[in-house]
């Protein structure tokens, strides 16, 4: 049987990139899974702390994320839906794994390298602004590995940007098994969606992100049609004439085509073919409509569920209980294996 695990940070309402790159796949896996397959979906609060968070906002975002996941169709009876920060087994395993993880591997993580580059003084490359770099930012891929391994997960539906972190998790599973000559952990596999890496609407050289400061750079799953239309109309494209699909020369335009193709579940080249000789206005109008069609249902459901405080708390309590129980089996084995029963 497969054990599916994935997580999302409570750093804001999910956007189109999260949905098309990961969340829609969670729902699909839930539908296609065999009865004996296990599914675990987690809101990973500890990961959010790697960047400064306002406590009240974080606390609200946790609840909103739970409501969003329910709204898109995660069924808490079929899947274990839970807050990572309510299961200490994740941090216990993360510590054990961090004692097996080579520094050099973590230093080669592109997410870390990007943070390091961003903290470097423009005039003096060797000068680093240390206030921007915390140890958690450096080691969180280990916590991510623990999130996966603590359930012995085998299938990990995450977006493109998480490939390297999943490689680390595979590595750590293998390192643990070899260090202790024990077959405790299975190797986790990446499960990608046919789609894609969705780019920022304002800077199509970087990915769409929940935590990017410019809110016009992303379409949220809870945006109304008028908000969607405004953001898509104002998105950065190019002045290279009629629409063509060319991700290198025309990242903004191609990003819109990618979004449209994913919304209508078609190949991006055949979608692009329909815009031969047409301009950005026609494309942008169609993109906004296709997004609305896809997210209208989840948006309405979100608005309904977020008011049901009692239900949300019950789902969280039940999820935490099941997650703890499930991971405790692994941890008993791990503790015994390392000699700390």
The residues annotated with a catalytic role in the active site are 115, 207, 210
Q: Please, what is the angle between helix 280-305 and helix 55-72, to 10°?
A: 100
The Cα–Cα gap between 296 and 205 comes to 28
Nearer to ligand ATP, 12 or 319 (CB): 12
The Cα–Cα gap between 210 and 10 comes to 9
Q: Which of residues 203-222 bind ligand ATP (CB under 6 A)?
A: 207-211
The Cα–Cα gap between 214 and 256 comes to 18
22 binds ligand ATP (CB under 6 A): yes
81 binds ligand ATP (CB under 6 A): no
Least distance between ligand ATP and beta carbon 160 (Å): 6
Q: Which of 3, 70, 153, 198 binds ligand ATP (CB under 6 A)?
A: 198
Q: Which of 78, 115, 120, 197 binds ligand ATP (CB under 6 A)?
A: 197
21 binds ligand ATP (CB under 6 A): yes
115 binds ligand ATP (CB under 6 A): no
Residues in the chain, overall count = 341
252 binds ligand ATP (CB under 6 A): no
Nearer to ligand ATP, 4 or 22 (CB): 22
Least distance between ligand ATP and beta carbon 205 (Å): 12
Site mask for ligand ATP (CB under 6 A), range 146-185, x = bound: ------------xx-xx-----------------------
Per the listing, tokens 């943070």 go with 115
Nearer to ligand ATP, 73 or 311 (CB): 73
Nearer to ligand ATP, 22 or 67 (CB): 22
Instruction: Please tell me what DSSP assigns to residue 162.
Output: G
Q: Which of 4, 8, 101, 256 binds ligand ATP (CB under 6 A)?
A: 8
Is there a contact between 264 and 271 (Cβ–Cβ < 8 Å)? yes
| Residue nearest ligand ATP by beta-carbon distance | 21
Task: Name the token pair of 15.
Answer: 């956007």
315 binds ligand ATP (CB under 6 A): no
Least distance between ligand ATP and beta carbon 157 (Å): 7
The Cα–Cα gap between 63 and 79 comes to 18
Q: Which of 3, 5, 13, 17 binds ligand ATP (CB under 6 A)?
A: 17
18 binds ligand ATP (CB under 6 A): yes
Nearer to ligand ATP, 237 or 258 (CB): 258
- Which residues are CB-contacts of 105 (< 8 A; sequence separation ≥ 6)? 168, 171
The Cα–Cα gap between 248 and 36 comes to 43
29 binds ligand ATP (CB under 6 A): no
- Which residues are CB-contacts of 241 (< 8 A; sequence separation ≥ 6)? 279
Q: Which of 3, 4, 5, 11 binds ligand ATP (CB under 6 A)?
A: 11
The Cα–Cα gap between 8 and 26 comes to 11
Exposed, middle or buried by CB within 10 Å (0-12, 13-18, 19+), for 1? exposed
Q: Give the count of beta carbons closer than 10 Å to the beta carbon of residue 285.
A: 13
Exposed, middle or buried by CB within 10 Å (0-12, 13-18, 19+), for 335? middle
Q: Given the rule CB under 6 A, which residues bind ligand ATP?
A: 8-9, 11, 17-18, 21-22, 158-159, 161-162, 197-198, 207-211
């Amino acid at each position: 049987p497969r054990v599916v695990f994935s997580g999302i940070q409570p750093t804001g309402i999910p956007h189109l990139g999260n949905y098309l790159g990961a969340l829609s796949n969670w729902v699909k896996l839930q539908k296609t899974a065999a009865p004996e397959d296990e599914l675990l979906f987690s809101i990973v609060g500890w990961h959010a702390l790697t960047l400064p968070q306002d406590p009240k906002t974080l606390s609200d975002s946790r609840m909103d994320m739970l409501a969003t996941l329910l709204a898109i169709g995660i069924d808490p009876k079929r899947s274990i839906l839970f807050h990572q920060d309510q299961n200490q087994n994740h941090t216990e395993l993360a510590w054990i794994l961090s004692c097996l993880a080579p520094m050099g591997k973590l230093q080669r993580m592109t997410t870390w390298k990007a943070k390091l580059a961003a903290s470097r003084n423009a005039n003096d490359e060797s000068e680093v602004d240390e206030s921007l770099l915390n140890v958690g930012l450096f080691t969180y891929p280990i916590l991510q590995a623990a999130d996966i391994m603590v359930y012995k997960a085998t299938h990990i539906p995450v977006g493109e940007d998480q490939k390297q972190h999943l490689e680390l998790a595979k590595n750590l599973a293998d390192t643990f098994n070899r260090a202790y000559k024990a077959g405790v952990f299975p190797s986790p596999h990446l499960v990608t969606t046919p789609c894609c890496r969705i780019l920022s609407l304002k800077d199509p050289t970087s990915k769409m992100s929940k935590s990017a400061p410019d809110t016009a750079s992303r379409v949220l799953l809870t945006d109304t049609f008028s908000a969607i239309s405004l953001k898509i109309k104002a998105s950065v494209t190019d002045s290279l004439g009629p629409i063509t699909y060319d991700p290198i020369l025309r990242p903004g335009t191609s990003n819109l085509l990618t979004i449209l193709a994913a919304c209508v579940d078609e190949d991006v080249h055949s979608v692009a073919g329909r815009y031969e000789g047409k301009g950005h206005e026609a494309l942008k109008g169609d993109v906004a409509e296709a997004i609305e069609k896809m997210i209208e249902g989840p948006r309405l459901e979100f608005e309904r569920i977020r008011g049901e405080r009692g239900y949300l708390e019950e789902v969280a309590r039940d999820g935490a209980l099941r997650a703890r129980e499930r991971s405790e089996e692994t941890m008993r084995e791990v503790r015994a294996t390392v000699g700390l029963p």
